[in-house]
Every structure is written in structure tokens, then in C-alpha cells.
Structure 1
């Protein structure tokens, strides 16, 4: 079974479109949380998820759009979340609300979480990848940090496919992964997309200017997901 693995789309429709166009033939499309938040195309992205049958879990920004802000939720993503809430229909909000926090798929061979198993708001950085994170699954997929990485152990593989909509690893290109559960392989990939379209939409909707710069450079000045940065930045 081959799975197209994505995460942290953050309402960036042009980036999602590019990833789906570049994606090879797979048996399922799976998303590790944060469908919306930050980006200017929340309704379009939810519609695309539904049309493509993308299996998703709920990320912390999805919960923020529903009105649940965890401790130390930064004012910039909070502003974007509130903007998003005002623009989504009741049906679209219900879609986000119905997403589970974790999923086990492919007969338990693939587990998908946003932060860490049992801790959805916890950052699991690449240096935190270890066999201890794995349960019965052969592949554990995480998101949240926006840092593309993988590590293999005797017990299985831990992978973050990176962020589709707002990478934070210094590479602005949309990130994704292709997982072959039968062969036991994980292939990390990137694809260019028309980021100017997203940047112009951010500006037109008066969303925080720092997000425009973040898309340009593949980093957020106010919140790089690294140990040296205050973990209060989300």
C-alpha cells in the first residue's frame, strides 16, 4: 500500500494543488493536521480535502479556528485563526470539529498524530525521533514542526512530511512524502508552487505581513520551530 503523506497545509490552496499534481499514484492521501490557519484559502482547501478524499486529523490551528487556543498561542496565528473562523460556514467548521486527534490506518501499520502520540500540541523535532515513539505501527507520521525529516529504527520509521503550506526549514517549496508500507520505504519530496498567489491573497485580506515573508524564505521570523526559539511561539 502506497500512501501520499502531507501535513500542515494551513489554507494554502496553490501549494496543496501543486503537491496533489506532483503526487504519484497512491492508494490513499493522508494529512497530519492543520488543514487551516495562517493561510488565505480556508474554504477552498476544505473543499479540496473533501473532493480528493484526503484523510486528515485535527491540528492545533484547526482547534484554534474552532475557538480552542492552547497555552501560549501566539497573537499572530490567533489573528489568522479568528479571521478564518469568520469566513467559514457552519458546515466547514463542523468538518474541522469532526476530525479526530489521532488515527491508525492501514490495519494499524500507519499511525498519524499532529504533535506526538498522546500529546497533540507537543513538538516532536527531528532530533526527538526515536524508537520509543513507536507502538505497534510500522510508520508513525507527525506534523506540527513544519520540518521535513525521517528516521528509521528496527521497530519502524518516524516521519514528518514537512509542511505543504508554510515550511519552516529554510526551503519555501511545498513538502510531502510518499510512504510504501509494503516495501517499508519513505520518500521525502518537495515541489515548487506559485507562492506569489498566496502572498497576494494574504496582503489583500490584511493578514499578518510576517506570513508573506515566511512564505518567501521558508521560515517564520516570529516563530522558527527550533530549540533555540521560545516554545511559546506556535
Structure 2
């Protein structure tokens, strides 16, 4: 199973990550904002029937509400959202606003739970360094063997008690100091997860940003630095 998250309008990165061999793919939200190709990314997810949960940016774009971004990136999310609204159709926005908060599956006897931020809120960050007592509060007593989350743009695989927590990182805008595309693969037979990093045509993405988007130099710097 391939896990992708936080695509953020970066079609070149999405194309790269879909080259990873997989039998099933689940997207953990945030298809739009920050990147130059939100329309193309949303269409790809829709046309390929990729199961996707609601990210905070999906809600902000589709329902025109506050994204709940951290201070560091909020001005960029606000500025690029105006661009996103210009290039996305009402049909695409309707798709975003009707995404589910979570998806639950059972495969090979494993209970799997997919959401964007945490089982409590898609605005809440679960990070590699989040203390155990905070994790305990965030999981809200959900019954699952594996919890898949995105939102932080920081990839990790972490064992918490009897639960495995997997964050595949960000496809379209990594923020862990590595500009490569980030995703994860999960083996439903062994119950093991692996983070995968891939090169992509970042220069094409940067050209598209420069040609059409506000704050292009800042956006390009973030992409190339990975933060």
C-alpha cells in the first residue's frame, strides 16, 4: 500500500511518487495551496479514484474557511489560496469539501485508520517528537493497529504502545530539510512501513511557480531547501 499526503498543488512531485510500485494508494489530504497545479492534482485524484481524507487546506479551499496554518506559513497559504480559487472549478471545490475526515479499513486482520492531522482534529500536529502523553490524548481511544496521518510534512514511523503511527511526509512540499518527494509504503502482510524519498522535476515546478504565483521566490526557496 502506498501512502501519500500534502501534495499541495505540485503535479511533478505527484507524478514522481505514483511511480512507486503499489497495489493500493490512500491520500492523507491537502491537495491544494502553495503549489502551481492544484487543478491538475485534484483531477488526478478524482480520475484515479484515489481514496482521500480531508486536509485542513482542502477544507479551506473547498469551504472557504480558515486553514489553521502555523504563523510561519500562513501568509503564503492565504496568498496562494486566492490563486488556487482562480484555477479550480466549482466541481473540484465540491470534491474537496465532501472529503471524509477519516477512512477505516481492515486488511489481513490489521485495523487501519487514516486521517490528516490526528483522530481528534485535522488541524492538530503529530510529530516525531510529540510526547507520549500528548499522543495518548490525540488518539482519543480509537481502536486501530496502524494510524496513518499527514499534516506536519515530517515523515516518521513510530511505535506507540500496540499502535504503529506512520506519517509519509509531504509529496509536494517537504519540510524536514530534504527537498525530495516523501511517501511511505506499508506491507499489509508483515505490518511494516518504510519511508521513501524520490527526486522529481523540481525545476519545472519552480518555473510554473515563477510564471503564475504570488511570492514566487519565497515559495521556490522553501521547495529547494525542504523547509
Q: Under a length normalisation based on structure 1, what TM-score does the superposition of the two structures give?
A: 0.86
Alignment of 1:23-102 (within 5 A): 23-26=20-23, 28-66=24-62, 67-71=64-68, 74-102=74-102
Unpaired runs of at least 5, structure 2: none
Offset of 1:97 from its aligned partner?
1.1
Distance 1:193 1:70 in 2: 27
Match of 2:106 in 1: 106
Distance 2:131 2:103 in 1: 19
Q: Deviations over 1:128-185 (max 9, x none)?
A: 2757337321110111110011112441200110000000000000000011123110
Alpha-carbon contact 2:174-2:181 (below 8 Å) kept: yes
Match of 2:127 in 1: 125
- Quick one: structure 1 residues 129 and 49, their matched pair in 2 at CA, closer, same or farther if it must change by over 3 Å? farther
Alpha-carbon contact 1:129-1:151 (below 8 Å) kept: no
Offset of 1:119 from its aligned partner?
1.2
Distance 2:69 2:10 in 1: 24
- Quick one: structure 1 residues 150 and 129, their matched pair in 2 at CA, closer, same or farther if it must change by over 3 Å? farther
Offset of 1:54 from its aligned partner?
1.3
Alpha-carbon contact 2:68-2:123 (below 8 Å) kept: no
Offset of 1:25 from its aligned partner?
2.8
**Match for residue 222 of structure 2 among 214, 229, 233:** 214
SS, match of residue 40 in structure 2: helix
Alpha-carbon contact 1:171-1:217 (below 8 Å) kept: yes
Match of 2:146 in 1: 139
Unpaired runs of at least 5, structure 1: 220-234
Superposition RMSD in Å: 1.8
Offset of 1:47 from its aligned partner?
1.4
Aligned length: 215
Alpha-carbon contact 2:57-2:67 (below 8 Å) kept: no
Match of 1:163 in 2: 170
Offset of 1:72 from its aligned partner?
6.1
Offset of 1:48 from its aligned partner?
1.1
